[in-house]
């Protein structure tokens, strides 16, 4: 595949003069720019015409696919391949960080903390369930000769990487058609934390694969906690340091605002490289850096710097995610995939559907045990959550890395299957999301109001409950098992954290009095294809 081979323009065409090499580079880069421009223009037209059958992500993917097919039937395949040849290091260092940082940076705290218990349950416990179920089913499928057989640890690695969801298309249509605020917050919040969980699980399984001797279940759990908690701590620490710097450095004066913006842009990459240098996960670290910097550091900036950094991160994340979908389409047409293992792809799609159901419905049951009747997740929202499990950039990136982490043939099979799953979920599920919402009767939910119309009501609830929609537990306190009470205590902890944040953390790390987020947008979207978010200012 293109990521593995160090093909340079000179190598692919024999000896070339510098002028010819420069010309070939210009043509290759021009082609990439033209596809990006076409993707943005076509996406705008689709949104303007309210055409939901072909979402913007699908359109970008199809553009890459068409260009790749044309390149394959022309005489310019090698030269184009040479300039689309970048390693997974480019992917992880330059494309994924802005996408993941923007996910955390655009996460509005109000709906996140109002559904904190549910989001954590779906993203952490649910992703673990989906990963294990997928891995076990793929392994059993290999044992009974339904599909290509992989070792058990490699099946768990595949389960971890394919459990990373990226519902950009679903979220975009959610906001276009209008749906329940809490459903939107659950889907978005899960997708943000789910990436961190999936990559931590993948790293853990990769370590087990590399060092199989002396590994027991306890050591695996310790490795996972070391990766996840260590990366999260690094990201949060960098975020807090940046908040104190911008609070006390006095950079918000006119002649230092360029310096202020430059420093703010550098901190996310500092967090990413710090975690990678410590042997942790830079993706997990930069995600939590984004959450902390938006909540604390951002309010310490001058207004002009706030406008600049918001636009900057949205811009580069949009470009990066659009290019990811273009590249996936181009890659399908240009590269040699293991299409001989069609059974692996077919049964993997079935198994991830089963695993997603085990994730959503079991976690929803646990969440509903801890919630009063008026805040339970209804069945139609659970079905919408199950349907929202599209795969995207993170699954593709981890599959790309698996080609190098696993033996020849195994990694290629996983990469081919993951690429096919991403394409099918984006095209089929993304294109049918509007129909799904109408059939489940969740369009314009919240008693006929759109999510935007509920902002005033929800804001009042936040103000009355110190920033948290605190459930009333009295009505169910007598029912009670000890298990339910534990779940309820965990659910209440979000409210306690919000109170601590408002009374202690926010005054210490910012120049605000703890109420600076009262007018924050209710929800925010995944970067890339959701630029016109009705919840954002």
Q: Give the pLDDT of residue 140.
A: 95
Phi and psi based region of residue 148 (left: phi greater than 0; alpha: psi -120 to 50; beta: remaining): beta
Q: What is the pLDDT of residue 525?
A: 42
pLDDT digits 0-9 by tens, 103-154: 889 876 677 777 888 888 998 899 999 999 999 999 999 999 888 899 999 9
To the nearest whole number, what is the mean pLDDT of the chain?
77
CA distance 136 to 301: 49
24 vs 436 pLDDT, higher one: 436
The answer to whether residue 524 scores a pLDDT higher than 80 is no
Contact 348, 138 (CB under 8 A): yes
Report, as an integer, the average pLDDT of 177-204.
Answer: 83
Q: How far apart are CA 276 and CA 290, in angstroms?
A: 17
Given a cut of 50, is residue 487 above it in pLDDT?
yes
Whole-angstrom distance, CA of residue 401 vs CA of residue 415: 9
Mean predicted confidence (pLDDT) in 76-83: 58
Q: What's the CA gap between 25 and 14, in Å, rounded? A: 15
CB hemisphere CA count around 267 (13 angstroms): 32
Question: Quick one: pLDDT at residue 191?
Answer: 83
Q: What is the pLDDT of residue 270?
A: 95
Tell me the pLDDT band of 467, cut-offs 50, 70 and 90.
very low
DSSP reduced 3-state for 525: coil
- Identify the pLDDT of residue 164: 87
Please give the C-alpha separations between residue 259 and each of 312, 342, 509, in angstroms, as whole numbers: 15, 54, 20
Question: Which of 399-408, 409-418, 460-469 is predicted least confidently?
Answer: 460-469
pLDDT in tens, 207-247: 888 776 656 677 778 888 888 889 999 999 999 999 999 98
């Amino acid at each position: 595949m293109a990521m593995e081979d160090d093909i340079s323009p000179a190598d692919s065409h024999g000896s070339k003069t510098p002028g010819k090499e420069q010309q070939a580079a210009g043509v290759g880069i021009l082609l990439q720019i033209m596809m990006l421009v076409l993707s943005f223009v076509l996406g705008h037209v689709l949104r303007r015409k309210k055409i939901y059958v072909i979402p913007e992500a699908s359109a970008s993917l199809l553009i890459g696919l068409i260009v790749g097919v044309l390149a394959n039937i022309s005489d310019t395949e090698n030269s184009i391949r040479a300039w689309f040849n970048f390693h997974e290091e480019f992917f992880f260092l330059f494309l994924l960080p802005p996408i993941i940082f923007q996910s955390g940076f655009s996460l509005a705290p109000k709906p996140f903390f109002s559904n904190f218990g549910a989001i954590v349950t779906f993203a952490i416990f649910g992703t673990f369930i989906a990963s294990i179920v997928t891995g076990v089913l793929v392994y059993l499928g290999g044992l009974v000769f339904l599909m290509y057989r992989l070792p058990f640890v490699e099946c768990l690695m595949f389960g971890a990487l394919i459990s990373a969801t990226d519902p950009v298309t679903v979220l975009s249509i959610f906001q276009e058609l209008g749906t329940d605020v809490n459903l939107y917050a659950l889907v978005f919040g899960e997708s943000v934390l789910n990436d961190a969980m999936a990559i931590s699980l993948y790293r853990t399984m990769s370590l087990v694969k590399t060092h199989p001797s002396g590994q027991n279940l306890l050591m695996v759990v310790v490795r996972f906690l070391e990766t996840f908690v260590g990366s999260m701590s690094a990201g949060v620490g960098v975020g807090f340091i940046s908040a104190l710097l911008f609070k006390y450095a006095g950079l918000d004066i006119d002649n230092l605002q360029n310096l202020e913006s430059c420093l703010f842009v550098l901190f996310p990459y500092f967090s990413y490289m710090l975690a990678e240098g410590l042997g942790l996960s830079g993706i997990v670290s930069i995600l939590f850096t984004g959450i902390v910097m938006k909540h604390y550091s951002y309010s310490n900036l001058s207004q002009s710097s706030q406008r600049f950094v918001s636009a900057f991160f949205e811009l580069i994340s949009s470009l990066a995610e659009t290019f990811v979908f273009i590249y996936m389409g181009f890659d399908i047409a240009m590269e040699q995939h293991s299409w001989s293992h069609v059974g692996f792809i077919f049964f993997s799609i079935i198994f991830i559907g089963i695993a997603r159901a085990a994730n959503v419905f079991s976690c929803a049951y646990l969440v509903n045990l801890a919630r009063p009747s008026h805040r339970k997740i209804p069945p139609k929202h659970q079905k919408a959550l199950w349907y929202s499990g599209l795969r995207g950039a993170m699954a593709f990136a981890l599959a790309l890395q698996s080609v190098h982490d696993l033996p020849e043939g195994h990694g290629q099979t996983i990469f081919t299957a993951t690429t096919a799953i991403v394409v099918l979920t984006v095209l089929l599920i993304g294109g049918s999301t509007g129909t799904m919402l109408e059939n489940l009767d969740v369009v314009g939910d919240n008693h006929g109001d759109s999510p935007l119309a509920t902002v005033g009501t929800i804001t009042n609830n936040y103000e009355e409950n110190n920033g948290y929609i605190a459930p009333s537990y009295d009505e169910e306190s007598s029912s009670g098992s000890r298990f339910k009470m534990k779940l309820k205590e965990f659910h209440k902890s979000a409210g306690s954290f919000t109170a601590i944040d408002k009374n202690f953390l926010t005054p210490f790390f910012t120049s605000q009095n703890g109420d600076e987020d009262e007018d924050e947008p209710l929800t925010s979207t995944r970067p890339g294809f959701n630029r016109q978010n009705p919840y954002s200012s």
